[in-house]
Amino acid sequence: MPEPERKSKITASRKLMLKSLMLAKAKECWEQEHEEKEAEKARYLAERIPTLQTRGLSLSALQDLCRELHAKVEVVDEERYDIEAMSGMEGRKKMFDAAKSPTTQ
């Protein structure tokens, strides 16, 4: 014997209104979370990175500073490249091992 159709206790317009309110609240929470993360990032960078003092430096001192900064950037780029290469090799190795071994099901 078929069951009688149940009527929804909430109207379609009410559902739509509640859905839009929930989306608005979610957007508000996301925006606040994003602002907090940006503020935390700025606070962290302010603590970790000293301000660059270039006033009063001679041309040779500025050139030395540029060389020093360039060397630091180079080291960081090399480390980033090594990390990316290692993670890429690991991924390829796992794919190769998975393709090589027979699957058991």
Q: What is the pLDDT of residues 26-61, one digit of tens each?
A: 999 999 999 999 999 999 998 988 888 888 999 999
Rg over CA atoms, the chain: 29
* Domains identified in the chain, total number: 2
In a domain, 2, yes or no: no
Residue with the larger pLDDT of the pair 2 and 76: 76
Cα dihedral 66/71/76/81 (nearest 10): 120
Would you state the pLDDT for residue 105? 43
pTM of the model: 0.45
Structural domain range at position 34: 13-48
pLDDT digits (tens, 9 = 90+) for 92-102: 666 667 666 65
31 shares its domain with 62: no
List the one residue out of 54, 56, 77, 76 whose CA is nearest residue 65: 54
Give the integer Cα–Cα distance in Å for 55 and 71. Answer: 21
Tokens of 25: 């609240």
Q: Which amino acid would we find at residue 85?
A: A
